[in-house]
Structure 1
């Protein structure tokens, strides 16, 4: 799969743009703030129906304009496919595949898989467990359409149970039979999600270790662990044993919505003891393992987007990374960087041709 071209209208800082890409390495160079990352985000929209950075669609519209439009032509599984995304202020987002609008956006997820690596990803390490669950869910959702539906159903049941707990606290009336119904709904859905997460991690951890060892040349020992309350106790037992706590706090305190991924370096928390370079290598390995996992289960290569990838990487790791993604058949790649000469030199050294675009204050042209 590869993206042949993209057209933008009033997207972020672009009034309009029309770009044609190569099947291999495409690089956007320019100063900070010029709009390089916005081009990657437009590609992310086409593949996953949303911005990588901001969940509010209307905030992606260029200042003083009423709408934005993104359109791209993909070549996927021997077919050409046109994807169109349009957002108008105070209106529902429109998403079309070959001019036919989707009934639900979830149907699009996984058809045009994508992996993005960005400085923003440090949130996966530094923020709370929600960020790591979101990462895990994003990977699985691109390979399993039913998983995304399960997540939405689980979250709906969770909201219902939490609403009942608030009602119990407010009215002081407790109906065990009604709570049991909510418990059964939550358990059935939660168990299916838990099993899929476990199966995913069995494959994923091995892939992650391979990429991390390659990037660092086995210089460090790291661990990636899936943590879930359901690893030790059944979900229905957890809900039953925590009911008094749940009633006091007015929310569900146990379940798969508390799952986490534990990152460690030499058996110490990566968040506290990892250098910026070590954290960056860890994140890159996470994302490259995501790429390999998606390719394995989709049967074709996702797009790979690398935003300011050379930031905080020493020369050795930087060259290892570029060697890996360029020579190990990673398919179509999009890269942003501030240093035109640096990028040219890196790819000359590893003897990989690239297509270069220069970005300057909302304008972009083939270099």
Structure 2
């Protein structure tokens, strides 16, 4: 799958701009603040219907304008596919494929497989479990549309159960029959989600470990572990065991919405004991494993975005990473960097097919 061209109108810092891309490697270079990351984010937007860095739609519209348009022309399986996203202040965002509007955004997820590697990924290590769950769910959803629907059903039922618990507290009442309906639904959806997550990690973890060994030259031992209370018992039992606690807290304290991923290096949490370089290598291995998994499931080479790839990594390790992604197993690659010469020096060693796109200064 190849992104042939991209047009932006009133998107973030851009008034109007058009790009034609190389089929293999595209390097976006220029000073900080010129919009390199914004271009990558626009490409991400076309795949997921939202920004990677700021999911609030109105904040992606250029200041003093009322709307934005992102227009991408793809080549997928020898067919041209035109995807357009538009958003107007105060109105619902619209996604079109070949001129036809999607009824549901979820129908679009997975159609344009994509993986982004960015300094913002550090949130996966530093932030709470919610960020890591979103990572798992995002990878599975790109190749399993039913999984996304399950998540939506679970989330809706969870909100309803929480509202009921608040109602009980506010009115000093309790209705076990109504609560049992929500318990059964959460159990049904939650067990299936837990099973899909477990199966996913059985496949994903060995891929991740291989990627980390390749990036780090086998110098450190890392581990990726799925943590869920559902691994020991079923959700219905957990909900009953925690009923008194949930009534007191007025929300649901157990379930797949509390699952987490544990990241370790040499048996210790990487958040506390990993260097910046080790953490960066861990995250890149995680994202390259995501690439491998999605490619295997979708039978399509995802687009790969490398945002500020030189951040906290030496050039030799960057060169090694780009070599990893430039063999025939990978598709189209987009790289952003502040130094054109540095980027070109690395890229031209490993690929004859590349394009340097120099961005000039413009106010954000």
Structure 1 CA distance for aligned equivalents of residues 238 and 3 of structure 2: 47
The answer to whether residue 119 in structure 2 is matched with residue 144 in structure 1 is no
Instruction: Please report the TM-score for the alignment, with normalisation by the length of structure 2.
Output: 0.98
- Give secondary structure in 1 for the equivalent of 2:253: coil
Residue 3 of structure 1: how far off its partner (Å): 0.5
Matched residue SS, 1:142: helix
Q: Which residue of 2 aligns with 1:180?
A: 180
Q: Which runs of 5+ in 2 are unaligned?
A: none
Report Cα offsets for 1:211-247 as digits up to 9, x if no partner: 0000000000100001111001111110010000000
2:207 alignment partner in structure 1: 207
Aligned residue number for residue 251 of structure 1: 251
Measure the CA separation in 1 of the matches of 2:289 and 2:351. 25
Is 1:286–2:286 an aligned residue pair? yes
Query: Does residue 1:267 correspond to 2:278, yes or no?
Result: no
Tell me if the contact between 2:224 and 2:263 (Cα under 8 Å) persists in the aligned partners.
Answer: yes
* Separation in structure 1 between the aligned mates of residue 136 and residue 156 of structure 2, nearest angstrom: 19
Q: How does 1:20-39 map to 2 (within 5 A)?
A: 20-39=20-39
Q: Shift of residue 349 of structure 1?
A: 2.8
Per-residue deviation, 1:175: 1.1
Q: Distance in 2 between matches of 1:21 and 1:314?
A: 27
Measure how far apart 1:351 and its partner are: 4.5
Give yes or no for contact 1:29–1:356 (8 Å, CA) kept in 2.
yes
1:304 equivalent in structure 2: 304
Alignment of 1:154-165 (within 5 A): 154-165=154-165
1:352 CA displacement: 4.2
Residue 81 (str. 1) matches residue 78 (str. 2): no
Question: In structure 2, what is the Cα distance between the partners aligned to 1:284 and 1:41?
Answer: 18
Paired position in structure 1 for 2:324: 324
Q: Distance in 2 between matches of 1:150 and 1:102?
A: 19
Q: Give the drift of 1:362.
A: 4.4
Conserved 8 A contact 2:22-2:353: no
* Partner SS for 1:327: coil
1:9 matched to 2:9: yes
- What is the alpha-carbon distance in structure 1 between the residues aligned to residue 21 and residue 329 of structure 2? 17
Cα distance, 1:136 vs structure 2: 0.6
* 1:234 aligned partner: 234
What secondary structure is seen at the aligned counterpart in 1 of 2:51?
coil
Q: Partners in 1 of 2:225 and 2:175 — Cα distance?
A: 38
Report the counterpart of residue 94 of structure 1 in structure 2. Answer: 94
Q: Is the 8 A contact 2:113 2:300 kept in 1?
A: no
Instruction: Return the offset for 1:344.
Output: 1.1
CA gap of 1:362–1:100, structure 2 versus 1, over 3 A, is: farther
Deviation (angstroms), 1:328: 4.8
How many angstroms apart in 2 are the aligned matches of 1:76 and 1:322?
23
Runs of 4+ in structure 1 deviating by more than 4 angstroms, as ranges, are none
**Cα deviations by residue, 1:86-123 (Å, 9 ceiling, x for unpaired):** 01111111110000001011100000011000000000
What is the rounded CA distance, in whole Å, between the counterparts of 1:316 and 1:221 in structure 2? 21
Could you list the per-position Cα deviations for residues 333-354 of structure 1 after superposition, in whole angstroms to 9, with x for gaps in the alignment? 0000001110111123334431
1:305-354 CA distance string (max 9 Å, x none): 00001110123321210111112531000000001110111123334431
Contact 2:33 2:362 in 1 (8 A): no
Under a length normalisation based on structure 1, what TM-score does the superposition of the two structures give? Answer: 0.97
Which stretch of structure 1 is more off in the superposition, 350-359 or 184-193? 350-359
Partners of 1:113 and 1:84 in 2: CA distance: 16
Distance in 2, matches of 1:328 and 1:315, equals 22
Structure 2 counterpart of 1:117: 117
Partner of 1:349: 349
